[in-house]
Structure 1
Amino acid sequence: MSASDGKLNLLDFKSPSIRTLHITWFAFFLTFVLWFSHAPMKEAITSAFDISNAQWKALLILNVALTIPSRIVIGILVDKFGPRVTFSLLLVSAGLLCSFFALAQSFEMLALARFLMGFVGAGFVIGIRLVGEWFPARQVGLAEGVYGGWGNFGSAAAAMLLPSLALAFGGENGWRYALLTISAIAFCYGIFFYRAARNTPKGSTYFKPKKSGGLEVSTPREFWFLLGMNVPMYAALAVLAWKLSPTGVGLLTQPFVTTSYVVLGLLFIFQSYQIYRVNEDMLKSGSVPEHQRYSFRQVAILDVNYFITFGSELAVVSMLPAFFAETFGLTPVKAGLLASGFAFMNLAARPGGGWLSDKFGRRKTMLILLAGLAAGYLTLSQIGPAWPLALAVIATMCCSFFVQAGEGAVFAMVPLIQRRMTGQIAGMAGAYGNVGGVTFLTIYSFVSTPTFFMIIAASSVIGFFASWFLTEPKGHITEVAEDGSVQLIEVS
């Protein structure tokens, strides 16, 4: 790594920051392997438990239900206790939860395990804070892109490796042994991570929020803005409950669903109180000291952009294989293989978005990528049986580049807003990504495929105009150490 020219040498293992990046993206990679470990085992699991298609869909919904609130919770924990402890505990817990799923003896046990596994999907948030601590502003976009892109590949790796591992074990319980194997790896890696990782480089301070439980804001107006931004997350959870109701897949009874709505309302009230408690002094005085201020508008715009980018990725990855099969008359295997190009772009596109942000500016990069994303989805809306298959695949991968580079651009900026709250800011943006997935998939259930793509394109245009109000990070931000000293952190 060269600090003078901003270049990143990913093979320089003598550099503590590069070693930290590698052990961190692999930790994230493992969480995604475990989180999506059920999908490639569908045939074995449905056969073992005689599961209907509706029940399998319920498992898929349960797998993501807890991820939205857990990203908020994990963001609070990582800011308070540090990424080293938080990631270690999450990996160990993930190993235990996946083992519970592997050893399940009934559909109810499977459902409970998948619901709890949603918490594992919040692992992404932890590394954002850790990588942000170890890399300067001129490198952080690329470093975060490598972390996010390579770690995200865990879902594809699970699809490629786990069926082969189950086949190697053989027998009707081969899938169980395969899941137990990766569970053990995650458990052991959690212990290794605790021994190998450090929250900050030697001599650096790990800044923590003054109070825990909610995001700090700088003005009363931003306090109400923050409360409003929390509403869509609870609305998305209500939609998930509705999908599990008798109106949806029928896993939950109507009284249970109604109770869930009440609980979500109470949780919103509780979270609002926690945010009030954290910001009580600010609300009484009307503002915070100048050196502690930041613009919550920045956070809100990044939330919207991740809603569009990652949310659309989640939705499109879910429907693209069937779209290719129906449009071009392909077998499920071939359609799945061609559609996988959308996810494979993560390996290069997400780091690419971070690198572009570092080199050409974060606001400018965001605007260009969102414009490309809008054009990409508009192009996908025009794909039909008359298109050459190769051209359709190329269009899909080009669109995917802008989607995932946009994700990289979002998290190239997240660590530069307010260091002590990076975990919470990343958690909120990450949660909005999942909210986007729920929203776009719900829309897809009511409209045609071309209309679905056009709606995402329209949302990209909204994100483009919102991004005009982003402020390019410049100069330094300030943080106050526990001894009261004010320290400057470079953000440009």
Structure 2
Amino acid sequence: MGKSYEGNRHILIMSTLAFFVSVMVWFNMAPFNSTIMEQMGISKDEIGVLMLVNLGLAIPARIIMGQWVDRFGPTKVFSSLLMVMSIPCFVFAFGNSYEQLLLSRLLLGSIGASFVIGIRMISEWFPQKSMGLVQGIYAGWGNFGSAMASFSLPLLALIFGGESGWRYAIALTGLLALIYGLIFYRKVADAPPGKEFKRSPSSGMMRVNSHSDLIILVFLIFPIYGGVALLVWSLQRMMLLSLAWAVSLYAFLGVFYLVHVIKIWISNRSYLNGKVPSGEQNSMKLVGVLSLAYFSTFGAELAVISMLPMFFQGNFALGAIGGGMIASSFAFTNLVARPAGGWLSDRFGRKKILVMLLLLLSILYFSMSSLSGDWPLILAVLLTMSCSMVGQAASGSVFSMVPLVKKSQTGQVAGIVGAYGNIGSVCFLAVLNLMFPSFFFITIGVFAFLCSISSFLIKEPGPKNDVQERINSVNNYRYPTEIRQKV
């Protein structure tokens, strides 16, 4: 890949492992839900709240981490996040009250933002021509941390033995995060030797290219606050927050959103009056389309994984183990499907592949809406696996474009797009709670179809060829001015 990217495989391995550890910590509670209910004397609804708050803060945290990684660099931000999040992990592991479990789980949700940090790191170390593949490897193999937590933590709890076995197993993931955070800080760099890491302005607000793009950005960040409001509503419904506290938090979120909008306007006011740099002229319309595409792909994936075990148990008379095995297969297909989607985008064109995958995904989900117990089980499983493969490949295609939208603000773009994945899961599950599973699948299919149409209208981001990228790479070296001019 050239000397300008020497050492990039090491960075890919280190970043993927960092995300893998983060996901293990993020989902270390799931294997022990029944045990925690029994030992702590808490209800199924209270466990449900813990699961919800575990996802809740990941939405705004992805925006915040996106700003920080663009300003301070991925090395400092990723290592700090891993080490800091080990603290609430230890608190959760040895918590003796529901309030301790709730607060620590709420804070632990922030580790889900680790995804966007690695996106920026890898975008600095690899050329555009292989961006889809390496981002797919990072996301696909890193997300396997959830499956590893499900397989390994119950075994570790058994090895530790006793009633506190689950506590030691969860605490071990916190210790792993703490140690790996130190290793990550010492063993990686923000950019290859001689290549400058381009930081965002100190304001941390995303730069746009026009007033219409400014309006799009304002609308794009609104659902992020809506996701947190949904979390507040859930806590109030469970009587864990009083109505007065809930109303106060709603008001706080409204004020915070307005402040965010004002900061965006102040940051862009003078920028829009000047000439936008040639390398930063990609439209916020593209960010909006990619966000909605991730909403329909990764958001649907999370929602389907949540409902699939019960769906198969009810329609095909399977036990809990059989339904769980079908649901867990989503994690395994991710190892291949997401890198494959990125590779196809690199090889045959990002826009073309995204449109085709979204269109195929819509057809498959429309087919899922007709699933019933009358279907042969093997055919139902094949259709489900096909949805999984195509959806994850489409997610890989989305993030083959994200690092190419706005180089100096890749973290923020990834933060917005990534947050929409979490928002999508919340919205689709809300549809499932209100309607039948068939309508749930139809809704996903409709969104995927609309996204395929809108993706057809976007302009593919990034330099048109690798020659332009090589020129940019040379210009980024810290040669003396007179030497750079000769080059």
Q: TM-score range by the shorter chain?
A: over 0.9
**AA of the residue aligned to 1:374:** S
CA deviations on 1:5-58 (whole Å, 9 max, x unpaired) are xxxxxxxxx961111101110100000000000011112211121010110111
Work out which of the residue numbers 198, 207, 219 in structure 2 matches 1:207. 198
What residue is the counterpart of 1:114 in the other structure? 105
How far is 1:339 from its partner? 2.0
**AA of the residue aligned to 1:299:** V
Unaligned residue ranges in structure 1 (runs of 5+): 5-13
How far is 1:251 from its partner? 2.7
Contact 1:49 / 1:106 at 8 angstroms: preserved in 2? Answer: yes
CA deviations on 1:299-336 (whole Å, 9 max, x unpaired) are 11111111111110111111000001111111111111
What residue is the counterpart of 1:257 in the other structure? 246
- Are 1:344 and 2:335 an aligned pair? no
Matches within 5 A, 1:83-162: 83-162=74-153
- Are 1:163 and 2:163 an aligned pair? no
Contact 1:219 / 1:287 at 8 angstroms: preserved in 2? Answer: no
What residue is the counterpart of 2:365 in the other structure? 377
What residue is the counterpart of 1:188 in the other structure? 179
C-alpha distance in 1 between matches for 2:108 and 2:310: 26
Tell me the secondary structure at the aligned position of residue 236 of structure 2. coil
What residue is the counterpart of 1:282 in the other structure? 271
CA spacing shift, 1:56–1:272, aligned 2, 3 Å: same
- Are 1:417 and 2:405 an aligned pair? yes
How far is 1:154 from its partner? 0.7
CA spacing shift, 1:420–1:351, aligned 2, 3 Å: same
CA deviations on 1:47-95 (whole Å, 9 max, x unpaired) are 1210101101110111111111100000000000100111000111122
How far is 1:221 from its partner? 1.6
Unaligned residue ranges in structure 2 (runs of 5+): none
What residue is the counterpart of 1:397 in the other structure? 385
**AA of the residue aligned to 2:333:** M
CA spacing shift, 1:367–1:291, aligned 2, 3 Å: closer
C-alpha distance in 1 between matches for 2:226 and 2:119: 26
Matches within 5 A, 1:352-371: 352-371=340-359
- Are 1:329 and 2:317 an aligned pair? yes
CA spacing shift, 1:291–1:409, aligned 2, 3 Å: closer
Contact 2:207 / 2:271 at 8 angstroms: preserved in 1? Answer: no
**AA of the residue aligned to 2:256:** L
Tell me the secondary structure at the aligned position of residue 270 of structure 1. helix
- Are 1:216 and 2:207 an aligned pair? yes
How far is 1:286 from its partner? 6.5
What residue is the counterpart of 1:312 in the other structure? 300
Total equivalences in the alignment: 473
C-alpha distance in 1 between matches for 2:29 and 2:267: 39
How far is 1:471 from its partner? 1.1
C-alpha distance in 2 between matches for 1:443 and 1:234: 19
Q: How high is the sequence identity, in percent, across the aligned residues?
A: 41
How far is 1:212 from its partner? 2.8
Contact 1:236 / 1:439 at 8 angstroms: preserved in 2? Answer: no
C-alpha distance in 2 between matches for 1:287 and 1:205: 23
**TM-score, length-normalised on structure 2?**
0.93
CA deviations on 1:224-278 (whole Å, 9 max, x unpaired) are 11101111222222222222222xx333222222122111101101211221222
C-alpha distance in 2 between matches for 1:70 and 1:369: 29
Matches within 5 A, 1:26-41: 26-41=17-32
C-alpha distance in 1 between matches for 2:279 and 2:378: 54
**AA of the residue aligned to 1:311:** G
Contact 1:74 / 1:126 at 8 angstroms: preserved in 2? Answer: yes
Contact 1:95 / 1:186 at 8 angstroms: preserved in 2? Answer: yes
Tell me the secondary structure at the aligned position of residue 207 of structure 1. coil
Greater shift, 475-484 or 262-271, is seen at 475-484
Contact 2:280 / 2:407 at 8 angstroms: preserved in 1? Answer: no
What residue is the counterpart of 1:268 in the other structure? 257
Tell me the secondary structure at the aligned position of residue 77 of structure 2. helix
Tell me the secondary structure at the aligned position of residue 111 of structure 1. helix
